[in-house]
Every structure is written in C-alpha cells, then in structure tokens.
Structure 1
C-alpha cells in the first residue's frame, strides 16, 4: 500500500488496484482566512493526481474536507457552461457519510446533505452514501467505517488489503464504538492517521478574548489525543489533520491567530507518542509512505523523505500565551461594499432568523434579544436591539454593541458591508472568521441555513465559468 500526503487530511491511498483520494482540499488557499501549511503547490497536486482517482472518500461536510473548488478540479469537462448543465465525471465513485433527514444545519449550511448536493451539482454520478459503521468492499480493498462522537454524520475509515492496513481518522472525535471495535476485534493497523488539532481555545477569535489558562487548554488537547492513541494500537501513529494556518486576505494581519488557536501541534503530538513508547512519524505534502511486510516508511516521491523541517514548520503555529489578541475593529475587519441601508440589512437578518433553532428558543423562553452594531463608512458604528419574537429593530445609538448591554442580551459587532456579503452569498459564513465578533449564535443560526451555502456555490461556479 502506498500513501501520498496532499496536506492537512487529504491523502491518496494506492492499493495496487484502486486509487482512493480522502478529503480533498487541493488548493493552497482554503478561503479568505485559511491556507495550507506547509504549502501545497498546483504542480505537486498535478504530479500526485495525474493518473486520476477511482474513489473519493469524504469523512464529513466541513469545508476543509469537502472543498467544492477542489472537487471541481476532479471533474472532467471544465468548459461546460454551468448555467445550462453540470460537468460530468462518470468514472469516479464518491463515498461519504449519510444520516437522518432533515439534517442538522452545521457548517456548510446544508449540514451533511451539502455533500450529496455539491457532488450532484458538480456532475458526479456515482454516489455511494454510507452509514458510519458500514463496511464496503472495493476491488482490492475493504473500507471499514466508524462513527464520530459528533451530532452529524462523520466517519473515520480503516483501509485493509491483503498485505496492509491503515486507519484514517480525519477530524473525527473518538467514538466508543470505534474504541470497542479495535479492542474487541483486536485490530492492529500498520499505521493510523490520528487528529492532533483538537479543539481551539474558546472565544479567542469570536470574542477576541485573551487566551485564558493555556495549561488547561494544552492538557485538554493532549488528553483528547492520548485517548485516540490508547484506542488505536497502530504500529506507527501519524499526527494528522493539522496542515493549515491563518493568513488572512492580504489586507489585515491575522498572524496572531497562529499563536493563540492551536493547542497541540503534530510535533508536540509526536513527542507525546515518544513519551508513551509509541512509534511516530510526521509527513507533509508530496511525501510518500509505503506499507509492506508490516513496516511503514517514508520513500522517495514528489517530496523527499527529508523535505521538511517540522520543528521549524510547526513553530509558526505553536501556542504562545504571550501573544496579544487585538480587539475587534469593525471599521477595519470588514469585507465587501455596502449598498443597502442598515435598517434594510437588519430587517433581512431578522426575517431569515424565523424558523431557526434560535428563533424557536426565543419563542419558548422569551429570551433571544440581541444587541448588534453595524459599522458604516462615514458614519461609524451604531448599535441596535433585535427582538426575534416581534421582529422589531430598536436603534440604541452610536458605539459598539458591547457598550449598550443592559442585561442578558447577547451581542454581535460587524461591518454593514460584511453582513451584506453574507446575506447575498458573496461570503460563505465559514469563510467569515475574523470579520465579526460575537458571544451569541444569531449569525450562526441564520447563515447555516441551506440557502446561503447553495447560493454561494452557484455564485462561485458562475464566476469560475465567466470569461
């Protein structure tokens, strides 16, 4: 078995009979905020995928694993007009987790249904949804899937051939079913790609709060990683699903995020494995692993076995409690151009809040009132009180939302232009980090609605195919 890294969680697995691509994010930039780290070049992607793929396996619907611009690159017929018909890619089978309908509306708007919608919209015809826990037999490999401990369909996958086995965990949170399977069935994979990213410290980005209790943050991340390592007794463990950093969009400096958001890097995870007496291996884009005769080793590929100095790479994204978190400034942390008035934008926002979980909770308990401030060119920042039950917008006066709180209201601060870009689908909500600050879920409730994801994809496809 031969595995090639394409950065983060993207891996090409070659079994000798099939070429299976996992979680393709194949562009250097994910969106306006995130990028591959170490870098992933177009030349490298072409070199690795030049012979095509037989299967695409998507572990879940989040954008860094189900990245529709990358899926576009796998589809033939790039000159087809999207206004008339989708591209066609009849030779690739897509395997992905399915679940109950209607879905839980998490990132990517449609929730897990975003996968099926996007694949069909792009023209993929061979779709194979699975319930995590199912086993699939391909020509020369068996894919045993396992659930994740999250409230939406997500899976990790054990790939087995006659001579090798590898566990690809993606971002999945360890589920007891997974631990029990490895324990009861005595599974011993040759290699396991285990997530090292863990969970970012709360409030640093969304509320611009200084990092609190970094020792506790690191301890929690380490315990999460340890539990995975204990559950999966692989001969070699590869700390994985950590191959990105924040770069921003060229106008604002978000480099401080890289020292305040990542509690456990792959280098730290590898040291932890060494402390536990377990064999660890680090790899980066273009590096190749071969598994044969019970041994896993880096071999020559598009990138050589010594291509990366991982201590240097991950030093750039190591948690540093001394790094200051700058306050949010809606006049500078903004996107797009404002063409509608503040009352129009806020009225639209409240209309779209109707029938969300946030709206229903507000009806039940009478709460849900939210103070939001909009920054507008030339007029500065003004705050407004939103009442989801009555749909009323009450002006509160100049100044940011946090200066107008009188009780238990939640708050949001955002530029009017950013809010308009979100409402029109110009900006995908998952790409809007750093462009607003909030301690509430109002924006999440609105912009996780399926209409915003589908509108964003349609807009992006049209722009990509406009001469």
Structure 2
C-alpha cells in the first residue's frame, strides 16, 4: 500500500487496484482565513492526482474535509447545471457517513444533510452513504469504518489489503465502539494509524477574544486525548495527522496571534509524546510518500523526499505561546466586505433566517432568547439593537457597543455591519469568519451553521465559478 500526503487530512491511498482519496482539500487556501501549512502547490496536486482517483472518502462534513471547490476539480468537465441535475457525470464513487446520528440542523460546519446534495450538485452520481460501523469491499481493499464520539455523522476508516493495514482517523473523537473493537481477541492488525494531533482552541479565544487563562490545562486535555488514542489503537507506527494549516488572512490583517493562541498540541509535540510512551511514530507533509507492506512502514522517495521538511521549524509557527496577547475585538478594524444596506434591514433578515433553528425553537418554548447586537457602520460608529425572536422585533437601543446596553439575561454580539451583510449574502462562509465578531451566545451560529445557509453559499459559488 502506498500513501501520499496532500496536506492536513488529505491522503491518496493506492492499494495496487484502487486509488482512494481521503478528505480532499486540494487548494492552498481553504477560505479567507485558513491556508495549508506546509504549503500545498497546484503543481504538486496535479502530479499526485495525474492518474485520477477511483474513490473519494469523506470522513465528515466540515469544510476542510468536504471542501467543495476541491471536489469540483475532481469532476470530469466540472460542468454543472442548476436544476439539481449535472450535465456531466464522473466515474468517481464518493463514500461518506450518513447516520446513525439524527440530523442536528445547527451542528458544527455545513450541516451533514448537505453532503449528498453538494456532491450531486458538483456532478458526482455514484454516491455510497455509509453508516459508521459498516464494512465496505471495494475490490482489492476492504474499508472497515468506525464511529466518532460527536453529534453528527463522522467516521474513521481502516483500509485493509492483502499486505497492509492502515487506519485513517481524520478528526474523529475516539468512540467507545472503536476502543472495544481493538480490545477483542480478533482485533484488526494495524501497520500504521493516522491519529488527529489537534484540539479545540482554548475557550473564547476567537469568539470572545478572551486572553489565555490556563494554557497548561488546555495542553493537558490535548495530551490526554492523544494518549487515549495511542493506548486504544496499537499500531506499529503512529502518524500524528490532520494538522496541516495555519491562520493567514487575505485581507491584510495580522492574524499571527491566532496561531500562537489556538493550538496547544502540534504534531512535533505529539511525536515527542510517542517517544515518551515507547511507541514508534513519524511525521510527513504534502508530497511525501509512505510505503506500507509486510508489517513495515517507511517514508520513501516521492514528489517530496523523506527529508523534505524541517518539521521543528514548520510547527514552531503554530505553537501555543502562553504569553501571546489576544487583541480585543474592534469592529472598526476587524471587518470584511462593504455595507450597502441599513442596519435594521440586516437584522430583520437575520431574525427571519433564525426561524426554525434550534435557537428559535428554544426561544419560542422558553419565551427568552433576546439578544443585543451592536453593528459598526463605516462611517457612522457603533449602534446597538435588541433582537426579540419571540416578538420578531428589532428595536434600536442607541449608540455604543452591545455590552453597554445589557439590562438582564440578554446575550450580546458585536460585529461590523459589512461583515453581517457578507454573511447574509453568502459572500463569506461562516468557517472563514473567525475573529470577525465577539459574542457570548450562539445567535450567529444558529443561522450560519444551518444547512440552508450552506446550500445558498454553494449555489452562489458555483454560479460565480461558471460565470452565470
């Protein structure tokens, strides 16, 4: 078995009979906010994928794994109509998780029900939904899938051939069913496992611009998660994975503080931890190749050689610094887009789009959910408004930030009017909007994590790409 890294969680697996592409994010930039680190060049992508792929496996629905601009590049012709029927099809089969977790419309990311819809919009017709826990036979390879301990469909995948066995865990959180599977007497033999070496950022760093308060505790949680993975899945070689990005905004802002405040556990630190635990491990980057056969796993010559990266230097740029200054949110500076509509109209549309979300249902049932939103107008300063989902009413409170107008149990959000307009129009995907507002609630998440928002964004982007 031959595995080639395309950065982050994207991996091409060649079994000798199939070419299987996992979690393709194939552009240098993911969106306005994130980019590959180390860099992923177009020439490298073309070289690695020159012979095409037979299967695409998507571990879950998040944009860095189910990246529709990258998927679109894989479709033969990539010529898509807009009546939900593609003009051109592709021979690639897409496998993705579907259930057993029920739909949660405000779950993180794009909303898992959009996966099949998006794939068909892009021109893929051979869709194979998989319930995590199922086994899929492709021909020369068997895929054994395992669930993730999250509230949306996600899976780890074990690829087995006659001479090799490799497990790719993507971003999955370790599930008890996975732990139990590897405790049994007939547990799968693993030559190599790709384990996530990342973690959730310290609380409130991006959403409320909170300074780091207990970095040691955050790091300890990340290490404990990694240790549990390593102890539960006893592979001959462990590869810290799904960490191949950094924050690098397109808008001229300096976001380096994010890279020093978000990542408590890097692959370099994970490799050291493996040594402490007496386990063999290695690191790899875009263009590097792993050969797995006869119980051995090794880096071999490929588009990028085995010594092609100085990982100490690479990951030094994204290592948690307890002394980093987290700048306070400033709507006058931390904004994107151009405001063309008045604030009341924007907030009335926001309330309209809140309808039928979990947030809206909770407000209807409990009679609460009132939220103070301040919008920075350029020019014009900052004005605050009270949003009442139960009454469906927007009330102007006056000048100043939201927090200065709180009187009780209301939540608050501060954002530039231009940023809100860009989100509402689909110009800005929610995932690329980090650091562009501050809030103590989930009002914006309820609207812009909803699948209906993502489907609007897909339609808009596809129309732009096709020039219609």
Q: Decide: shared fold, TM above 0.5.
A: yes
| Kept in 2: contact 1:35–1:245 (CA 8 A) | yes
Change (3 A) 1:316 1:177: same
1:89 corresponds to which residue? Answer: 89
1:7 corresponds to which residue? Answer: 7
Structure-2-length-normalised TM-score? 0.97
**What are the residue-to-residue correspondences of 1:104-119 with 2, within 5 Å?**
104-105=104-105, 106-109=107-110, 111-119=111-119
1:30 corresponds to which residue? Answer: 30
3-state SS of paired residue (2:275): helix
1:304-332 deviation per Cα after TM superposition (whole angstroms, max 9, x unaligned): 00000000000000000111001111111
Tell me by how many angstroms 1:100 deviates. Answer: 5.9
Tell me by how many angstroms 1:351 deviates. Answer: 1.6
1:175 corresponds to which residue? Answer: 175
Give distance in 2, aligned partners of 1:392 and 1:89: 47
Answer yes or no: is 1:249 the counterpart of 2:250.
yes
Give distance in 2, aligned partners of 1:441 and 1:338: 23
Give distance in 2, aligned partners of 1:84 and 1:413: 37
1:72 corresponds to which residue? Answer: 72
3-state SS of paired residue (2:202): coil
Tell me by how many angstroms 1:414 deviates. Answer: 0.6
Tell me by how many angstroms 1:234 deviates. Answer: 0.3
Give distance in 2, aligned partners of 1:81 and 1:118: 13
Give distance in 1, aligned partners of 2:362 and 2:47: 51
| Kept in 1: contact 2:100–2:131 (CA 8 A) | no
Structure 2: gaps (5+ residues):
none
| Kept in 1: contact 2:80–2:122 (CA 8 A) | no
2:189 corresponds to which residue? Answer: 188
2:45 corresponds to which residue? Answer: 45
Aligned-residue Cα RMSD (Å) equals 1.5
**What are the residue-to-residue correspondences of 1:139-158 with 2, within 5 Å?**
139-158=139-158
1:234 corresponds to which residue? Answer: 235
Tell me by how many angstroms 1:251 deviates. Answer: 2.0
Give distance in 1, aligned partners of 2:52 and 2:64: 21
Give distance in 2, aligned partners of 1:84 and 1:337: 31
Structure 1: gaps (5+ residues):
none
Give distance in 2, aligned partners of 1:250 and 1:448: 23
1:220 corresponds to which residue? Answer: 221
Tell me by how many angstroms 1:432 deviates. Answer: 1.3
Structure-1-length-normalised TM-score? 0.97
1:327-372 deviation per Cα after TM superposition (whole angstroms, max 9, x unaligned): 1111111111111111111111112212211111122223211111
Tell me by how many angstroms 1:7 deviates. Answer: 0.3
Give distance in 1, aligned partners of 2:130 and 2:216: 39
3-state SS of paired residue (1:225): helix
| Kept in 1: contact 2:98–2:153 (CA 8 A) | yes
Tell me by how many angstroms 1:87 deviates. Answer: 5.1
| Kept in 1: contact 2:78–2:123 (CA 8 A) | no
Give distance in 2, aligned partners of 1:165 and 1:322: 43
Give distance in 1, aligned partners of 2:246 and 2:446: 26
1:47-70 deviation per Cα after TM superposition (whole angstroms, max 9, x unaligned): 000000000000000000000000
**What are the residue-to-residue correspondences of 1:240-389 with 2, within 5 Å?**
240-389=241-390
| Kept in 2: contact 1:75–1:87 (CA 8 A) | no
Change (3 A) 1:402 1:84: closer
Tell me by how many angstroms 1:403 deviates. Answer: 1.9
| Kept in 2: contact 1:373–1:384 (CA 8 A) | yes
| Kept in 2: contact 1:166–1:191 (CA 8 A) | yes
Give distance in 1, aligned partners of 2:109 and 2:124: 19
Give distance in 2, aligned partners of 1:223 and 1:84: 45
Change (3 A) 1:79 1:446: closer
Change (3 A) 1:121 1:108: farther
Q: Which is further off, 35-44 or 397-406?
A: 397-406
Give distance in 2, aligned partners of 1:246 and 1:132: 31
Give distance in 2, aligned partners of 1:372 and 1:37: 35
